[in-house]
């Protein structure tokens, strides 16, 4: 008889095989796999004691901490559906998600209680568990995890692997956030993909830099536990603290969006070489990849996907011989999104009629996918689900080309392409040129209204510490590398760029800034 696939089976494997090894390491605290297994069994039992029934939603609002990592296994072990909440939202956004998801319990870090205080007064039915610190009237997390009732991890099995394990909300940059329904099968396939692509093994120590709430820590909340690796939580993105933890805990792997990599590159504290880095969230410019590998001595693994694809569908797998190429050639190749991961399913780049584009590195089409890691759908939004799966494929909204070797390379988000005088300007291409300038730390290019051309590219950049450059110099740099119509007509040098909690630059905010300024705002 076939056994349903679930990441809980991977966690059970880790607990069974690596009981005495460290599952969690933090400053002054080490939790073994045996202890970790006991804690998630008691957490599951405590949630059932609170009345959590199969399918009930349990929200989690906390930074990357040891208790938060436990919730990614303990909540589904109870039969509940985990609803990880972005730690950078506002009260109204939390109100909407908690209501829309129908969450019955919220596991809440006390530092975020002020943002939920009003919502909790409106929702006396919502049970609150304090993750860290004190919350008036709330049960303490440790109390929840110290009861005698346990749900055995070894007995975790599911008749239906397509049961929902988590409901992850999109960023909601253009409309209300959507609840992405991810299944046990989705999460299992993604976790195994990460084990294979990153080459995870029991000797690894993984630093959780990427927020766990973002696509469930990109699957590393389960993948590391499957192989007996140690997990080091990092509550906030801080370059100096990251380098300290990498040194103190002998970290070997981490996940970080490209914008977070620039923060790590700016750190003054040295860190050990040889760290394997998974980067995703936005297309990493070749210049950033080169700097990470050259200046830090780390190895970049470039992944691509969305929350709707349980994190990732492709990996820029290195072909034989790439290590013998010069650093610039390697970096340019690694900037591609690559090929489908082993358990992802099918990934194609297609025209409007869903026929494949030519594999010539020139014709652009939309990336579509179907298979093991594709979401079940959007919660309580049939219309959006139907649009996303038009023609039987999940539509990513990303535009890409396919090179003759079959590797995919994203050229832009469909909504981010700038159309100037009828010519398409991929914003990623312009950003890639800006990143080549030695003074540029971050770059984002958006379209601004133009009375004649329709749109014109505007660039926003931040500068590297100790480096200087002005608008004229940066425009001249772009003119030496780009066709004239792709050169930004204006470059704004900013102290910082608006980013999501996962590190993506919020282009919608920059577009709004341009629009209001051009309108005299």
Residues 305-319: pLDDT tens digits? 999 999 999 999 999
Identify the pLDDT of residue 46.
Answer: 96
> What 8-state DSSP symbol labels residue 213?
T
Whether 316 contacts 370, CB under 8 Å: no
Q: Is 383 exposed, middle or buried (0-12, 13-18, 19+ CB in 10 A)?
A: exposed
Confidence check: pLDDT of 321 > 60: yes
Q: What are residue 200's phi and psi, to 5 degrees?
A: -65, 140
pLDDT bin (cut points 50, 70, 90) of residue 83 is very high
Whether 371 contacts 345, CB under 8 Å: yes
Identify the pLDDT of residue 520.
Answer: 37
Cα–Cα dist 275/314, whole Å: 21
Identify the pLDDT of residue 519.
Answer: 38
Mean of the per-residue pLDDT values for the chain? 92
Identify the pLDDT of residue 512.
Answer: 84
Confidence check: pLDDT of 236 > 80: yes
Which tens digit of pLDDT belongs to each residue from 196-235?
Answer: 999 999 999 999 999 999 999 999 999 999 999 999 999 9
Confidence check: pLDDT of 192 > 90: yes
Identify the pLDDT of residue 155.
Answer: 63
Cα–Cα dist 258/292, whole Å: 10
Those residues with Cβ within 8 angstroms of residue 92's Cβ, 6 or more apart along the chain or in another chain: none
Whether 405 contacts 319, CB under 8 Å: yes
Residue scoring higher pLDDT (146 or 15): 15
Identify the pLDDT of residue 172.
Answer: 55
Confidence check: pLDDT of 94 > 80: yes
Distances (CA, A) of 402 to 134, 325, 348, 365: 53, 21, 9, 9
Identify the pLDDT of residue 503.
Answer: 66
> What 8-state DSSP symbol labels residue 266?
T
Identify the pLDDT of residue 156.
Answer: 64
H/E run at residue 408: strand 408-413
What mean pLDDT do residues 111-140 have? 95
Which tens digit of pLDDT belongs to each residue from 418-472?
Answer: 878 767 788 888 999 999 999 999 999 999 888 767 789 999 999 999 999 999 9
Those residues with Cβ within 8 angstroms of residue 137's Cβ, 6 or more apart along the chain or in another chain: 128
Specify the long-range contacts of residues 125-134, CB closer than 8 Å, at least 24 apart: 126/98, 127/50, 127/51, 129/50, 129/105, 131/62, 131/65, 131/67, 131/68, 131/107, 132/62, 132/65, 132/67, 133/109, 134/110
pLDDT bin (cut points 50, 70, 90) of residue 21 is very high
Q: Which residues are registered as beta bridge partners of 340?
A: 314
pLDDT bin (cut points 50, 70, 90) of residue 149 is confident
**pTM of the predicted model, to two decimals?**
0.86
Confidence check: pLDDT of 79 > 50: yes
- The secondary structure of 135-194 as a DSSP string is -TTPEEHHHHTSSS----STT---S-TTSEEEEEEP--SSSS--EEEEEHHHHHHHHHHH
Confidence check: pLDDT of 521 > 60: no
Cα–Cα dist 431/489, whole Å: 14
pLDDT bin (cut points 50, 70, 90) of residue 284 is confident
Confidence check: pLDDT of 157 > 80: no
Whether 340 contacts 319, CB under 8 Å: no
Whether 511 contacts 517, CB under 8 Å: no
Confidence check: pLDDT of 33 > 80: yes
At the second CATH level, the architecture of 419-518 is: 2-Layer Sandwich (3.30)
H/E run at residue 259: helix 258-265
Cα–Cα dist 76/58, whole Å: 9
Q: What are residue 227's phi and psi, to 5 degrees?
A: -110, 0
Distances (CA, A) of 162 to 13, 93, 166, 188, 376: 21, 28, 11, 11, 8
Which tens digit of pLDDT belongs to each residue from 331-359?
Answer: 999 999 999 999 999 999 999 999 999 99
pLDDT bin (cut points 50, 70, 90) of residue 518 is low
SS3 489: coil
Which tens digit of pLDDT belongs to each residue from 366-400?
Answer: 999 999 999 999 999 999 999 999 999 999 999 99
Q: What are residue 412's phi and psi, to 5 degrees?
A: 180, 165
What mean pLDDT do residues 8-28 have? 96
What mean pLDDT do residues 143-163 have? 82
């Amino acid at each position: 008889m076939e056994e349903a696939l679930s990441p809980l089976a991977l966690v059970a494997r880790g607990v069974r095989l690596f009981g005495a090894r460290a599952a969690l390491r933090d400053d002054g605290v080490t939790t073994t796999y045996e202890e970790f297994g006991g804690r998630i069994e008691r957490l599951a039992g405590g949630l059932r004691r609170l009345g959590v029934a199969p399918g009930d939603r349990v929200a989690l609002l906390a930074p990357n901490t040891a208790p938060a990592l436990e919730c990614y296994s303990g909540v589904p072990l109870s039969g509940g559906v985990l609803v990880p909440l972005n730690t950078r939202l506002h009260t109204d956004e939390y109100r909407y998600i908690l209501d829309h998801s129908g969450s019955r319990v919220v596991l809440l870090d006390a530092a975020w209680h002020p943002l939920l205080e009003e919502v909790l007064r409106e929702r006396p039915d919502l049970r609150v568990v304090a993750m860290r610190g004190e919350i008036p009237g709330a049960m303490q997390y440790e109390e929840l995890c110290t009861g005698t009732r346990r749900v055995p991890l070894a007995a975790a099995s599911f008749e239906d692997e397509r049961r929902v394990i988590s409901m992850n909300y999109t960023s909601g940059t253009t409309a209300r956030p959507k609840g992405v329904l991810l299944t046990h099968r989705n999460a299992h396939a993604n976790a195994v993909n990460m084990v294979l692509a990153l080459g995870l093994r029991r000797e690894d120590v993984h630093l959780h830099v990427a927020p766990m709430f973002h696509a469930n820590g990109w699957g590393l909340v389960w993948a590391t536990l499957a192989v007996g690796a140690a997990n080091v939580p990092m509550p906030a993105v801080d370059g100096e603290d990251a380098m300290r933890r990498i040194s103190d805990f002998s970290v070997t792997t981490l996940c970080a969006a490209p914008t977070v990599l620039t923060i790590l590159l700016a750190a003054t504290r040295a860190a050990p070489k040889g760290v394997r880095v998974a980067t995703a969230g936005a297309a990493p410019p070749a210049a950033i990849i080169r700097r990470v590998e050259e200046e830090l001595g780390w190895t970049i693994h470039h992944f691509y996907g969305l929350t709707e694809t349980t994190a990732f569908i492709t990996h820029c797998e290195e072909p034989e011989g790439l290590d013998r190429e010069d650093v610039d050639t390697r970096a340019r190749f690694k900037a591609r999104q690559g090929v489908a991961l082993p358990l992802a399913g099918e990934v194609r780049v297609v025209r409007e009629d869903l026929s494949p584009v030519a594999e010539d590195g020139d014709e652009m089409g939309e990336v579509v996918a179907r298979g093991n890691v594709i979401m079940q759908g959007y919660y309580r939004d049939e219309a959006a689900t139907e649009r996303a799966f038009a023609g039987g494929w999940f539509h990513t909204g990303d535009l890409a080309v396919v090179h003759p070797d079959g590797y995919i390379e994203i050229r832009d988000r469909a909504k981010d392409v700038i159309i100037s005088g009828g010519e398409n300007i991929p914003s990623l291409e312009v950003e890639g040129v800006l990143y080549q300038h030695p003074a540029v730390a971050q770059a984002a290019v958006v379209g601004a209204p133009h009375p004649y051309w329709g749109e014109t590219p505007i660039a926003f950049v931040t500068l590297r510490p100790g480096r200087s450059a002005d608008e004229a110099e940066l425009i001249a740099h772009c003119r030496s590398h780009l066709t004239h119509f792709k050169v930004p007509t204006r470059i704004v040098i900013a102290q910082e760029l608006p980013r999501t909690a996962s590190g993506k630059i919020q282009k919608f905010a920059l577009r709004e800034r341009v629009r209001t300024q051009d309108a005299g705002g």
